[in-house]
Structure 1
């Protein structure tokens, strides 16, 4: 993926991130959540290709534990390997922060993301039953963890 880079998210990225968020998720975060980039332990990055934002991740780093809060690739560029680039970058950031663990949740129906996380060293450790809203009710959140010991 030539001309692809990951860098910390800055305020001028927020309009593009918000646009991707609304398109990429069936139940997107609120605009206020997207724009709150200075919360405790904030660790947010954007994936750029030719200086255009293709995706991002929001994470929180607190006392050796990094939690992946949100990740998205613009639907126009999904299925081209950018999700893997973002997860690889997330893992790199965790290692740079000397994290002991990294945590994330994924919708039970998001089998592509689940497989991507497994491939990158995450393991299912628990479930939150009926956690995520769907068009027809609720679905489980799969809790995954990776250790960096």
Structure 2
């Protein structure tokens, strides 16, 4: 599915052929990345994972999501750091919300590190609301930080 003519981006379902590129981005984009075994788990219950491809069909971002009975959780989302600030994160998030809507989701959920102000701002601008916090949930280089739980309702 073509997303934006000016950027020539495409969102496609994540396939095994994308895993190597996704894992490479995962290692670069996150301070505490998922393991390769988690990245390779693309067929789990309710899985609805997607990749963002550029005009050369290169993976530049992805998201992992799980749809359980109309409640969709955004488990992981990342853009290749070379493209940070390009708007690709917004494209991915909008594709996630479109996918939720197309699957008649009732709600979407995510959590974000309290230190990730850019992501929090992006999620809030898209219509997510902070609903709770998990205190000292995420590891950091010098301790722990809160996870901010956010939701989006489709009604």
* TM-score class normalised by the smaller sequence: over 0.9
Q: Secondary structure at the match of 1:40?
A: coil
Residue matched to 1:142: 148
Residue matched to 1:126: 132
TM-score (norm 2): 0.95
TM-score (norm 1): 0.99
User: Which runs of no fewer than 5 residues in structure 1 stay unpaired?
Assistant: none
The answer on 1:89 being equivalent to 2:89 is no
Residue matched to 1:64: 70
Residue matched to 2:47: 42
Distance 1:122 1:5 in 2: 24
Residue matched to 1:74: 80
Q: Secondary structure at the match of 2:127?
A: coil
Root-mean-square deviation (Å): 0.6
Q: How many residues align?
A: 149
Report how far residue 27 of structure 1 moved: 0.1
Q: Deviations over 1:43-81 (max 9, x none)?
A: 100001111110000000000100000000000111110
Distance 1:21 1:2 in 2: 22
Residue matched to 1:112: 118
User: Which runs of no fewer than 5 residues in structure 2 stay unpaired?
Assistant: 1-5
Report how far residue 2 of structure 1 moved: 2.4
